[in-house]
Amino acid sequence: MAKTARNHNTKKNELVGIAEKLFLEKGYEETSIEDILKASGLSKGGFYHYFKSKDEVLAESINHFADSLLQELEPIIEDRELNALEKLKRFMEKKNASQKSKRELIKYLAMLMKSDFTFYKYNLTITQKYVEPLAQIIEQGVEEGIFKVKFPRETADILLRTVTSLPQSVFFSEYIEDKTKSEQYKTSLEAIMVRALGIENEHIGIFG
């Protein structure tokens, strides 16, 4: 039974990997289920055994992305040589770099979030995975006297929800495509984080 479940998950993950490669090469909208079937060698029935739709494949891809990023963040959180501010910078750098690598998928997910509340709720669920790591950094910062925060976990949750809500903005495509707008967004977000964390220095270069 356990072996069957492992085989199922292995095949499902392989299918996600194949589909994701097609999404990045051709674009999400231009990739059809037929393309995925051809690349994977699966029958249509085989595909629907694992997923109900192409959107569900995208959701699973984003979930894999989130889990992979969490694994990359773990050494940063556990590094005893770094203070909280250094960890926060590396946390955001790693998160931003990972998002850039999935840029096309994230852009389409943003479109789905605007029109499909299910995807919006799904994205919030994914975001919650990062609350605990960020809360740990904030707690360390409070202990070190770098941050002035009464409720670290709640603050982490609010900050992450602020970032999560960006794809619903009517200006989201500008933030993605326009370098100047992107820098303005980063500056504004950093100002919010500085105030929320009670950091004295207003220009700390969280985003590099």
- Domain 53-197 class in CATH: mainly alpha
> Please, which pLDDT band fits residue 102 given cuts at 50, 70 and 90?
low
Residue 201 has pLDDT above 90, yes or no: no
* C-alpha angle 61-64-66 in degrees, rounded to nearest 5: 110
Alpha carbons within 13 A on the beta-carbon side of 28: 21
More confident residue, 132 or 181: 132
Measured between alpha carbons, how far is 139 from 148 in angstroms, rounded to an integer?
10
Window from 131-135, 154-158, 162-166 with minimum mean pLDDT: 162-166
Reported for 125-130, long-range contacts at CB under 8 A and 24+ positions apart, including other chains, are 126/62, 126/63, 126/66, 127/160, 127/161, 127/163, 127/164, 128/157, 128/160, 129/66, 129/67, 129/70, 130/66, 130/69, 130/70, 130/73, 130/95, 130/156, 130/160
> Please, which pLDDT band fits residue 29 given cuts at 50, 70 and 90?
confident
Residues in the chain: 208
Measured between alpha carbons, how far is 138 from 144 in angstroms, rounded to an integer?
10
More confident residue, 55 or 82: 82
For CATH 1.10.10.60, the residue range(s) in the chain are 1-51
The structure tokens listed for 31 are 């990739």
CATH superfamily of 1-51: Homeodomain-like (1.10.10.60)
For CATH 1.10.357.10, the residue range(s) in the chain are 53-197
Per-residue pLDDT, 2: 47
The structure tokens listed for 57 are 């494949």
Residue 78 has pLDDT above 90, yes or no: yes
Measured between alpha carbons, how far is 14 from 19 in angstroms, rounded to an integer?
9
Q: Is 113 helix (H, G, I), strand (E, B) or coil?
A: helix
